[in-house]
Amino acid sequence: MQMAASFLCICACLLASIIMGGHQTTALQSEKDALLRLKEGFGNPRSLVSWNLTVNVSPCKSWVGIICDINSSSVIGLSLTGFRDLAGRRISPDIADLHHLRSIELPNNGLIGTIPPGITNLSCLEHLDISGNALTGALPLLWGNLSRLVILNLSDNRISGTIPTGLVGAINLRVLRLENNHLSGHIPDSIVDLVPTLITFNVSYNHLVGQIPRGFSKKFNDYSAFEGNPFLCGKPLRMACATAMAQTLPQQDDTRNPMNRDPNRPSPGKRRSSHKGPIIIASVLGGTAFLLGLMILCIVFSRRRRHTEANGGGATRQVQNWFSPDIQADRRRGTYKVFSRGFNYSYDELVTNAGYFDTAHVIGKGRYATVYKSQLPDGTLVAVKVFKFSNVGLCYEKDMELLASIKHRNLLAIKGFYANPVEKAIFYNYVANGTLYDVFHGPKISRDTRDDVLPDWALRQKIALGIAQAMAYLHRGCGYKILHRDLKSTNILLDADYNPRVSDFGLIHLVSGRAEPVETLGYTAPEVLSGKKHTEKGDVYSYGVVLLELLTGQRAVAYIGERAVKLAEWVMRLHDEGRGREVFDPIVVGTCQLPEQLDRYLNLAVLCIDVNPSNRPSMAEIANILETQCSSASPLRSPDCKANNPLLSG
């Protein structure tokens, strides 16, 4: 009886151990499978040849870099350091299937791609070190399951995006190393909650902006933990925060010149115009011509206002409806000239089809003009640019004829113009894709959509070359020497195939009513700002800024609070520190297979924005350099390079 009982007991224990053993084997088996998939993601490198199924022993004994718990035989550690044959490979999401991991150490392997978000499901994780790789993309957002995490070391990667507020979920974090990455945005205030446990904290050499949360600066008072973020301010950095910090890149309006947008077009080209306040700072106002202009302007406007009020007012907040009886009378006395064959319409027809220039037809507003869209009976779309200031230069008609005679495939052709004493207008073709500014920064571009809709590197090369050729033609090729004087991304239109069309060349002095330059913040060359004449090298400077916009995806001016930071100065600073490669737009890096080619473009842009005008190359030289880049054997070669060659088109 006793024997039978003990036999039963032994059986039960055996059974239990068999069941338990079976369970352990399947758990380990699934971890083994996950590791093999991880190895496959690493490209089955030689260094991991021991990770195979042919050896009938546990990975815990014979696989390199694997640490197991002796009691449960589950994989609790993964440690692969400096395995150069992993370079250029990715961390497979299968890593998240290693549920028992306490430690992941993969530093200095040259890994690329993103951190698999599933890693934050590994609730046993205590130590995560993926430093010294080439990882890109945003950090995982949710860290709430990593309550045991003690070390998070992501230093020396190319990780972009912001510091996720979700990091506060890692309540036991002692080491947080994020230095030498491309992180942007603010340091989230909520991260201050981690300060009591944190011992090491480093966010130096990123692109962080704004104020360092106060809770940090008390405990982490070594400025080296924050240095290398040009837009970061507050203690312990020396740069004080002047004003309450706003976001780094506010919607700035600007004198966009969108004779181009169709509010009903549902493509990436569709960008509603939004105008929140001019970024233009007119330099010192002066000159009798300008004062005279103001006086005429006042008279004209008061005349108009009286007129509108007589008609019941109400419309004063709207864009002026120019089609009023006194203007009709004036209109008959005006000059209407057409330069484009087949453009057989009267000015009245253009005005009628632009809804008598009412607000619904406005497609853009600039410093000096409002642009209306007009659709003609045959379906032709036209952009009509109507000047706000009717006191445009005395030689307006002659100048317009000259400007209209300049034709190049990358210049926006003037189809015709109209002028009378109170009203001046220019007609252009309507261009499908909006301005370069809109394409990069229009309201449809958000952090989430930009990767899908922004032009890739090949398209940006094409745009850069087209603009350079147009500018070279203006400066040297057209028989005259014409300075643009106001080159900027809002003056560059893109057609349906992203061919650039430079517009508004030579117009600014016609419409500003004076010869001295007017500053366009971010684009105007330093020597012009200090009062010297605008030469062709001034245009080259502006071109350099446009080229930087294409390379970095950033606006020409960013704001920190009320402080304006110029893109040109920011890039110059990083370039001088040997950190030029950090400025590139991730889309550019991701779609360009030749990093040295990007270096050449950046060097060229930096040369264009040299403070010394005589160091800047000419536009013809720039076009030539870009063209040879294009035609050198490269997988990025844009198919349009050859077609871009002839400067002059019909």
Ligand X SMILES: *[C@@H]1O[C@H](CO)[C@@H](O)[C@H](O)[C@H]1NC(C)=O
> Based on CB atoms, which residue is closest to ligand X, 120 or 257?
120
- Please identify which residue in 47, 58, 121, 352 interacts with ligand X, judged by CB under 6 A: 121
Under rule CB under 6 A, residue 56 binds ligand X: no
CA atoms within 13 A on the CB side of 200: 11
DSSP 197-242: T-SEEE--SSEEEEEPPHHHHHH---GGGT-S-TEEESTTSSS---
Contact stretch for ligand X (CB under 6 A) within 151-159, 231-239, 583-591, 613-621: 151-159
SS3 53: coil
Under rule CB under 6 A, residue 129 binds ligand X: yes
DSSP 431-450: -TT-BHHHHHHSTT--TTTH
- Please identify which residue in 4, 5, 54, 596 interacts with ligand X, judged by CB under 6 A: 54
Closest approach of ligand X to the CB of residue 110, in Å: 12
Of 559, 499, 547, residue with least CA distance to 523: 547
Under rule CB under 6 A, residue 229 binds ligand X: no
Under rule CB under 6 A, residue 549 binds ligand X: no
> Based on CB atoms, which residue is closest to ligand X, 32 or 484?
32
Q: Known binder of ligand: residue 385? A: yes
Under rule CB under 6 A, residue 120 binds ligand X: yes
Classify strands 500-502 and 557-560 as parallel, antiparallel or unpaired: unpaired
Under rule CB under 6 A, residue 151 binds ligand X: yes
Closest approach of ligand X to the CB of residue 123, in Å: 7
SS3 337: strand
Contact stretch for ligand X (CB under 6 A) within 45-53, 410-418, 553-561, 584-592: 45-53
DSSP 256-300: ---TT--TT--STT-----------B------HHHHHHHHHHHHH
Under rule CB under 6 A, residue 353 binds ligand X: no
Closest approach of ligand X to the CB of residue 94, in Å: 11
DSSP 350-390: HHHHTTTT-GGGEEEE-SSEEEEEEE-TTS-EEEEEEES-S
Closest approach of ligand X to the CB of residue 641, in Å: 41
- Please identify which residue in 1, 5, 70, 240 interacts with ligand X, judged by CB under 6 A: 70
Under rule CB under 6 A, residue 131 binds ligand X: yes
**Sites for ligand X among residues 87-106 (CB under 6 A):** 96
Q: How far apart are CA 546 and CA 554, in angstroms?
A: 10
- Please identify which residue in 69, 309, 326, 451 interacts with ligand X, judged by CB under 6 A: 69
* Spatial contact of 542 and 470, defined as CB atoms under 8 Å apart: no
Residue at 399: amino acid letter? D
Under rule CB under 6 A, residue 436 binds ligand X: no
Closest approach of ligand X to the CB of residue 18, in Å: 20
The helix, strand and coil proportions of the chain, stated in percent and rounded to the nearest 5, come to: 35, 15, 50
Residue whose entry in the numeric block shows the structure tokens 């068999």: 18
Contact stretch for ligand X (CB under 6 A) within 69-77, 320-328, 605-613, 620-628: 69-77
Measured at the CA of 521, the angle between CA 520 and CA 524, to 5 degrees, comes to: 60
Residues whose CB is less than 8 angstroms from the CB of residue 635 and which lie 6 or more positions away in sequence, other chains included: 593, 594
Which tokens in the block code for residue 179?
Answer: 């230095």
Under rule CB under 6 A, residue 58 binds ligand X: no
Closest approach of ligand X to the CB of residue 113, in Å: 15
- Please identify which residue in 97, 179, 536, 539 interacts with ligand X, judged by CB under 6 A: 179
- Please identify which residue in 202, 206, 461, 491 interacts with ligand X, judged by CB under 6 A: 202
Under rule CB under 6 A, residue 578 binds ligand X: no
Under rule CB under 6 A, residue 309 binds ligand X: no
Contact stretch for ligand X (CB under 6 A) within 1-9, 128-136, 571-579, 580-588: 128-136
Under rule CB under 6 A, residue 394 binds ligand X: no
The answer to whether the peptide bond before residue 455 is cis (omega within 30 degrees of 0) is no
SS3 127: strand
The active-site residue, picked from 486, 504, 585, 640, is 486
* Spatial contact of 52 and 62, defined as CB atoms under 8 Å apart: no
Classify strands 414-420 and 423-429 as parallel, antiparallel or unpaired: antiparallel
Under rule CB under 6 A, residue 20 binds ligand X: no
Under rule CB under 6 A, residue 469 binds ligand X: no
Which tokens in the block code for residue 337?
Answer: 């000239």
Size of the site for ligand X (CB under 6 A): 37
Contact stretch for ligand X (CB under 6 A) within 28-36, 117-125, 383-391, 603-611: 117-125
Q: How far apart are CA 418 and CA 426, in angstroms?
A: 6
The residue count for the chain: 650
Q: Is 486 a catalytic residue?
A: yes
DSSP 544-600: HHHHHHHHH---SEEEETTEEEEHHHHHHHHHHTT-GGGGS-HHHHHH-S-HHHHHH
Contact stretch for ligand X (CB under 6 A) within 50-58, 427-435, 471-479, 488-496: 50-58
- Please identify which residue in 17, 25, 26, 50 interacts with ligand X, judged by CB under 6 A: 50
Closest approach of ligand X to the CB of residue 447, in Å: 19
Closest approach of ligand X to the CB of residue 175, in Å: 5
Active site residues: 486
Interacting residue ranges for ligand X, rule: CB under 6 A = 49-50, 52, 54-55, 62, 69-71, 96, 107-108, 117-118, 120-121, 129, 131-132, 142, 144-145, 151, 153, 155-156, 169, 175, 177, 179-180, 202, 204-205, 222, 224-225
